[in-house]
Amino acid sequence: MKLNEELQQYIEKNIFPSYRKNDLGHNLDHIKYVINRSLRFANGVDDINYNMVYTIAAYHDIGHYIDAKNHEKVSAEMLLADKNLRRFFSEDEIKIMSEAVYDHRASLEGEPRSIYGKIVSSADRNT
């Protein structure tokens, strides 16, 4: 598994600092934990895009400080609005990632729409 270093640097420099605004349960330690678990879970999946898994896990709680009750929707919108991600991903990939961020919430009805949502949701829930 090889992650795009430029993508990693962008996220570490521009996304990770936002997590200082979140509560302890949704802080950077939690995000790094979910990233590591997500990448481990992705290891057993054929044709998985590890850069997408990394990005979804990195964004999944970014909107928590804005609206904790609806953070999955806010976080998905923040990912969609990030024009810099278009340097690394196609519009289709960005749509899939946004849906996966939206779908990660444990209390949502139904299954995540993609394998990406399932991976990050499972990693976030400790399942």
Predicted local confidence at residue 1, as pLDDT = 79
Tokens 């936002």 appear where? 18
Rounded-to-integer distance, Cα 22 and Cα 103, Å: 20
In SS3 terms, the chain reads as CCCCHHHHHHHHHHCHHHHHHCCHHHCHHHHHHHHHHHHHHHCCCCCCCHHHHHHHHHHCCCCCCCCHHHHHHHHHHHHHHCHHHHHCCCHHHHHHHHHHHHHCCCCCCCCCCCHHHHHHHHHHHCC
The model carries a pTM of: 0.94
* pLDDT tens, position by position, 53-98: 999 999 999 999 999 899 999 999 999 999 999 999 999 999 999 9
Rounded-to-integer distance, Cα 72 and Cα 110, Å: 15
CB atoms closer than 10 angstroms to residue 47: 5
* pLDDT tens, position by position, 4-62: 999 999 999 999 999 999 998 999 999 999 999 999 999 989 999 999 999 999 999 99
Tokens 């196609």 appear where? 90
Predicted local confidence at residue 86, as pLDDT = 98
Question: Domains in the chain, please, with CATH?
Answer: 5-125 (1.10.3210.10)
Mean pLDDT is lowest, of 36-45, 63-72, 103-112, 118-127, for: 103-112
Predicted local confidence at residue 125, as pLDDT = 86
